[in-house]
Amino acid sequence: RECALAGAEVIRAEIETTAPRKTGTLAEDIQKEIKKQTKSRVDVHIGPGKEGWYGRFVEDGHAIVVAGKKVGDVPPHPFMRPAFDAKTDEAYDAFAAELKRRLGL
């Protein structure tokens, strides 16, 4: 559990760094949370919390709808996926380092 969170923190910190800062709300609300845990697996979700709920719209783009009619599109501005791609190896290293620390190696 703690090893997975150590690796997730690397990615969470990078997403916070790369998030758009128009108001700062989105960048300040990047969270990591354990969503599922079994004996052999821990799923950690990383992304915007309640205050930055609109982060997925920024990441993926969205339609502009006025009075029920689509009038345009807002293009995607990816910030989460590039951060994940850039820091995956470092996250694995953080996971391994925490595991070694806990095993006393």
Evaluate if residue 31 carries a pLDDT over 90.
Answer: yes
The 3 state secondary structure assigned to 1-40 is CHHHHHHHHHHHHHHHHHCCCCCCHHHHCEEEEEEEECCC
Predicted TM-score of the model (pTM): 0.85
pLDDT band, very low/low/confident/very high, at 79 (cuts 50, 70, 90): very high
pLDDT digits (tens, 9 = 90+) for 54-68: 999 999 999 999 999
